[in-house]
Structure 1
Amino acid sequence: MPADPGHQKRALRAELRERRRTLTSTERAEASSGLTRNLVELTRSTGARSVSCYLSAPDEPDTRGYLRWTAEHGIRTLLPITRNDGLLDWTVSHGTEETVGLFGLPEPIGELLPPSAIDDVDLILVPAACVDERGVRMGWGKGYFDKMLGSIEKCPPVFAVVFDSEVIDEVPRERHDQPVDGAVTPTRILRFASTPSRS
């Protein structure tokens, strides 16, 4: 009997959460610096003038340095705001106030834009628990980003943001999981040769 992907994912998420919790402050600082450098390089190489990103939580790879860079360089940056219905609203990042969102994660305070606002960006950066080199991404189980990616008619490049150890050999995939085109880590920018189709 084949292993249940849902069960495999739960076990993998628990392991990855624990691994993130045990990172030292020095490791986090080094990762933050490298990640910012690679996110900037990716943005420049794609020529993106409008991006979507997110406010990182304390255990996540740190997106704050990158968000400061986009603000300083006039790159329009959308940040997500979670809704109760499983969709994401958006607001334009001005590097100002934030609050705690539905799941205890940091979210920006700003003028709400509808889910369709994401249709106009040139590059999408999404959080992930892990990703494999087939482009299969595993999130944290709420499904917000899978739903968002599945709704975009002409999707721009999508990159998962992860620590180096979170690019793994194989991620269990379920039907609703949306693929990514690459991953950004503190030491690498990965572009996947072929990714599963978006449904």
Structure 2
Amino acid sequence: MLAGTKAQHRAALLAARRTVPHEVRAAEALALCAHLDEFVAPDDTVCAYLPVGTEPGSLQVVDRLHDVCARVLLPVTRTGADGEPVALLWSVYVPGELVAARYGLLEPAGPVMASSALGDADLVLVPALAVDRRGVRLGRGGGFYDRSLPLRQPSAKLVAVVRDSELVDELPSEPHDIRMTHVLTPKHGLCALANTE
């Protein structure tokens, strides 16, 4: 296992991402788009996300999903009365109909569906700072996906989207972590993970 806490890994991975030139990130996003046809089916419902900052991907990835599958759902973030994150809500992606939201996110402008809408997804693309070969995902630590992923259907593919260098041998894990079934990287496309839960 890599030495260090989750917080230390997050800091190091975020710092490394900030050094990646814009041109490289743009090329990686195009490569991710090119892989989508390999594993997204026309009748799929896909829960995706719009990347923030240096996260892999782009609006082009979401637009391509919109072209190749039946329905794309994007997350809508909310917190409870105590200020703590709650399970993500979802809304159907319509190109050109996004609004600014908290955390620097863009969210669909249309009606919001319950958290349980995640259970309709055949495929869930999940933002990650890194993922290991066992499916352990390191997120940003906000807790939104930790609260949301238990609502998935058992057959859904859970796909961490990372840069090629962010697929690592082993990350620290906790009992509540939901393991990813697959990873999507610009160079290698979709790869199954060991997922030895």
How high is the TM-score relative to the length of structure 2? 0.88
Query: What is the alpha-carbon distance in structure 2 between the residues aligned to residue 129 and residue 142 of structure 1?
Result: 12
Q: Deviations over 1:27-71 (max 9, x none)?
A: 112111111112332214xx6521110111131111422211222
Query: What is the alpha-carbon distance in structure 1 between the residues aligned to residue 79 and residue 150 of structure 2?
Result: 18
Deviation at 1:74, TM superposition (A): 5.1
Taking a change above 3 Å as real, the CA distance of residues 111 and 25 of structure 1, as seen in their structure-2 partners, is: same
Choose 94-103 or 128-137, whichever is displaced more.
Answer: 94-103
The answer to whether the 8 A contact 2:40-2:68 is kept is no
The answer to whether the 8 A contact 2:89-2:114 is kept is yes
Q: Say how many residue pairs are matched.
A: 190
Kindly report which structure 2 residues correspond to 1:8-157, keeping only aligned pairs within 5 A, or say none: 8-44=5-41, 49-73=44-68, 75-85=70-80, 86-157=86-157
Query: What is the alpha-carbon distance in structure 2 between the residues aligned to residue 187 and residue 48 of structure 1?
Result: 26
Give the secondary structure class of the aligned counterpart of 2:37: helix
The answer to whether the 8 A contact 1:48-1:122 is kept is no
Taking a change above 3 Å as real, the CA distance of residues 26 and 63 of structure 1, as seen in their structure-2 partners, is: closer
Kindly report which structure 2 residues correspond to 1:160-175, keeping only aligned pairs within 5 A, or say none: 160-175=160-175
Query: What is the alpha-carbon distance in structure 1 between the residues aligned to residue 167 and residue 58 of structure 2?
Result: 18
Q: Which amino acid aligns with 1:151?
A: L
The answer to whether the 8 A contact 1:149-1:178 is kept is yes
The answer to whether the 8 A contact 1:52-1:121 is kept is yes
Taking a change above 3 Å as real, the CA distance of residues 80 and 155 of structure 1, as seen in their structure-2 partners, is: farther
Unpaired stretches in structure 1, ≥5 consecutive residues? none
Deviation at 1:102, TM superposition (A): 3.0
How high is the TM-score relative to the length of structure 1? 0.87
